[in-house]
Amino acid sequence: MSETLPGIERLPLPTQAKLRSTQILTTLPQIISELLQNSIDANATHIDIGIDCAHWACWVRDDGHGIAKDDLELMGQSGNAGRYSSSKEYVPGLENSHSTFGFRGEALASAADIACLEVFSRTSKSRNTWSVILKGGEVLYKGPAVRWKREKPGTVVYIRDIFYNLPVRRRAHTPPHRTWELVRREIEAYALVFPQISFTLEDNGRLDDDASLRKDRTIRIPKNTGTLGRFQHIYGRALTEHIEPIDITRGTMRMEGFISLIGAPSKASISVFMYVGGLHPGKHLYLSNHYTDINRHPIINDDLIRIINHAFASSSFGKNVSLTLN
């Protein structure tokens, strides 16, 4: 008598959502990156970021167009209705057009699955700041904001108890000093791509420390009129006093930027931007020994940067720089 094997069954939707959330948000720097993207898509001109590694918390505050009360309530709905809610438009067949960082609306819903998510927002059409608090797929509060009240349009997203239900993820996470460094680099990457936006990064985990130490852990990047000025603010003027401009067009692709003629072994010395189909900044490429950005999304150690680094090192200029550094 043959044994009947059980069939394969589809996982319940709540289980599917939780599994997907653990894959979408894997680290504190990635969570902050997702929140930054939402703020940029909301046309923010100033973004404040706070991080508290010791207490597994972070927050991002912007002066963007805000989230309406009805949209906040939609976020609190159960199932895919709340998960895939987004104000970002997606037009099939226009992948190369200037668009947003995303359109699925999964980041905040995923945060509510692996942490306690608090959203406070006000639009230009509202006199009040509205809020919603979610944790573990449940709505803990929704209504007028009790804190983080805003006088002008904008949004505050506060995420705490991150990975409270994933202890293994916490144990495997990078230590606080390394997490801070990764977040700093993430913000610098976005700052280079969006010089018209000012950024502030605070280490809220050091609020009880000495004031001098606390000052060292606050980074301010003011607005700038262009990428070169922003580059100078982050890396110093020395690398941009002598530069070679780049402006190459091939078909529908354009590469624009600069290469510093002064070598520096520990600082970025190449800044290149790529525009596809004449769009700016829809397709964007930033290259350095720290960052690569494709379509405004920072990536690290990809094949493209390795190819360009190899070509640069093989050039006469690259060899001369190497000799100078040695």
pTM of the model: 0.77
> Is residue 18 over pLDDT 80?
no
What is the Cα–Cα distance from 110 to 93, expressed in whole angstroms? Answer: 27
CB of 198 within 8 A of CB of 219? no
Domains in the chain, please, with CATH? 13-221 (3.30.565.10), 234-325 (no CATH)
pLDDT digits (tens, 9 = 90+) for 80-89: 555 555 444 4
Distance CA 317, CA 171 (A): 45
Calpha distance 162→75 (Å, rounded): 19
Segment 125-182, tens digit of pLDDT:
999 999 999 998 789 999 999 988 888 999 999 999 999 999 999 999 999 999 999 9
Tokens describing residue 258: 């600069």
What does the pLDDT look like over 58-88, one tens digit per residue? 999 999 999 999 999 888 765 555 555 544 4
Q: CA geometry: angle at 199 spanning 194 and 205, to 5°?
A: 140
Mean pLDDT of the chain, nearest integer: 77
Copy the structure tokens of residue 241: 């006093």
